[in-house]
Amino acid sequence: MPPDNDTRDLYLRQLTDPTWRCRVRAPRPRLTPQEQLRLQRLEVQHLVNEIRYTAEALDLARLVVARCHGHWCFAGGNARRHEALQALSRRGLCRSISDLARDLRCSRQAAHRLATALARQGLLSIEPGPTDRRPLYLELTAAGSRALVDAERGAGLCLDVIGGDLRIREMRALGDTLRRIRERAAALRCR
């Protein structure tokens, strides 16, 4: 005997309500394919929102822990500048604006603005090319290296606090799930 619509609606409401565990559960009815698809979409949307909120919470936690211990949160003041300094430190020797833009997956103009802001802070130097004055070469300064080390120390403290009571198996399972989501999202971009 198929369940009535009131039971099905109650069941669907319980699945989408975060406080449903506090209530008496309705009997589990069979869902139609449309309802299963709707439920799947709700769960995926919930997961996407949780990922976004978690990323924001991690950035905020990194900021709080870094401030408590007197470290830089992000070298250069924000995550994008920090990423640029990391890209420069990985390459080692002199680099061009084009290389930085390629590493950061942005335009050369955006990379140039970013490099100029970091140079104003004294975290990198911008020099013209030796033979042709048009290409600009970037090099991490000692202050930039110190800022990166300080930010990484702060990030390590933050990771210790966040991951202190998590099991390695749980973290690996979550990492696998996030990797599969990222791969599926990348497959959609390639269509």
Contacts 24+ apart (CB under 8 A), 64-68: 65/154, 65/157, 65/158, 65/161, 66/151, 66/154, 66/155, 66/157, 66/158
Asked if pLDDT for residue 15 goes beyond 70, the answer is no
Q: Which of 41-45, 81-85, 107-111, 177-181 has the highest average model confidence (pLDDT)? A: 107-111
Would the pLDDT of 21 be above 60?
A: no
Torsion of CA 31, 35, 39, 45, to 10 degrees: 170
Q: pLDDT confidence of 64, banded at 50, 70, 90?
A: confident
Helices (H), ranges, 70-167: 79-91, 97-104, 108-120, 142-163
Whether residue 150 is predicted with pLDDT greater than 70 in this model: the reply is yes
The DSSP secondary-structure symbol of 25 reads P
In angstroms, the CA 121 to CA 61 distance is 24
Residue 89 has pLDDT above 80, yes or no: yes
E runs forming strands in the chain: 95-96, 124-128, 136-140
Confidence of residue 2 (pLDDT cuts 50, 70, 90): very low
Task: Record the pTM.
Answer: 0.54
Query: Contact, 24 vs 47, CB < 8 A?
Result: no
Average pLDDT over residues 4-25: 60
Looking at the chain, the number of H-run helices and the number of E-run strands are 7, 3
- Domains detected in the chain: 40-191 (1.10.10.10)
